[in-house]
Amino acid sequence: MKVEEIKVCILRIEGTNCEQEAYDAFKVLGADPEKVHLKQLIGRAPRELRRDLDEYQVLMLPGGFSAGDYVRAGAIFAARMKSHLAADLENFIASGRPVLGICNGFQILVELGVLPSFDEIMSEAPQAALYTNVSGRFECRPSYLKHENHGKCVFTSLLPRGEIVTIPVAHAEGNLRFPSESEREFLMRLEENDQVVFRYVDPNGDYAGYPWCPSGAIGNIAGICNPEGNVLGMMPHPERAMFRYQHPDWTRTGGKPDAPGDGHIIFRSVLDHVSKRF
Amino acid sequence: MVTAEIRIELKHGVADPEGENTKKALELLGFKGIRSVRTVKVFEMDLDVPASEAAAVCEEMSRKLLANPVIQTFRVQLK
């Protein structure tokens, strides 16, 4: 299908943010994004506003503090989706259509049991947690990410492996954790399944602790995909780095301010994938 | 009516940055002898369910929403 025919559902409830940036990211690349409230997908809206998840080719869960991050970050949004949208979401993922969760979106996908999802599309209980940063603080700054995926993830297909991109983080709960008794096993399975997409590194590209890894996440992991590669969750915000002028060094490095920023390639990759596959 | 208290605690071995930071701040205020500070979350709810079923309902609530089993445990107490 043509890129302009690709419909992107940017799903929001109260407390999500960056949906406008997400919208703009897809729009500037020529796709057809729409900001959709969860109520529109579950029939709790006037008839003309109702939407069906099946109408879209890409689902994006933006960042923010959905439902005030009450209970745990992303837990309430996940519970609402699970209660009304579980079957639709499973079908969406099973059909190979891409799902992107950024920041709070990643937390929601983890709480939903959609990531890391080793054995099924959506596990009954979460298999991981995005827990409070080791620093105990909200960490908000650019971060260096090394692309580690061998080609499975549809969101980074155009990004060479080993490349380092600069994408900002802004979160207090990004510390990826697995059950302590299965930490090793889960890390191995992630590697074996090619599910690791981004790891935090220092400016030389080496794995490093705080502050380079803002959260203390296990294995410096910043983003993972599902075993099929069509669901990506990442803590950093690529939609906030669509243009060079959004990079902290853009006045020093020259070039056009509105040239593509480092987050651009994520959106380009997924649209490229969808246009070829569907 | 049954009143239930659901206590969500971090699993043993999971670091508690909020507790650590609280400890640090209390020490800055001059409090001495604090060995450790742990954060817990308590949900208290009034339920219109038979007393015999209340515990099971609260456990189900904890599994489905209130606790993430990867890092947290829950304890239900009926009052």
**B56-68 pLDDT, tens digit each:** 999 999 999 999 9
pLDDT of residue A255: 84
Say if the Cβ atoms of A129 and B71 lie within 8 Å: yes
The verdict on B59 touching A (C-beta cutoff 8 Å) is: no
pLDDT of residue A153: 98
Nearest CA in chain A to B12: A180
Average pLDDT over chain A, rounded to an integer: 96
Amino acid identity, position A273? H
The verdict on A125 touching B (C-beta cutoff 8 Å) is: yes
d(CA A138, CA A160): 30
In this structure, the strands spanning A139-147 and A196-201 are: antiparallel
pLDDT of residue B30: 97
Q: Domains in chain A and their CATH numbers? A: 3-277 (3.40.50.880)
The verdict on B24 touching A (C-beta cutoff 8 Å) is: no
- Strands of chain A, DSSP E: 7-12, 16-17, 32-37, 58-61, 63-64, 99-102, 129-131, 139-147, 164-171, 175-177, 196-201, 221-225, 231-234
Amino acid identity, position A119? D
d(CA A129, CA A257): 37
Architecture of the domain delimited by B2-78: 2-Layer Sandwich (3.30)
Interface test with A, best of B20, B71, B73 (most A CBs within 10 A): B71
The verdict on B77 touching A (C-beta cutoff 8 Å) is: no
The verdict on A79 touching B (C-beta cutoff 8 Å) is: yes
Catalytic residue positions of A, numbered: 103, 237, 239
- Burial class of residue A196 (count of CB atoms within 10 Å of its CB; 0-12, 13-18, 19+): buried
Nearest CA in chain A to B21: A136
Q: What is the DSSP letter of A207?
A: B
- Contact list, A178 vs chain B (CB under 8 Å): 70
Residue A197 reports pLDDT greater than 90: yes
State pLDDT tens for residues A56-72.
999 999 999 999 999 99
- Contact list, A139 vs chain B (CB under 8 Å): none
**Residue B42 neighbours by CB distance under 10 Å:** 11
Scored b (16 or more CB within 10 A) or e, B26-36 reads eeeeeeeeeee
The verdict on B18 touching A (C-beta cutoff 8 Å) is: yes
Say if the Cβ atoms of B17 and A132 lie within 8 Å: yes
- Contact list, B63 vs chain A (CB under 8 Å): 125
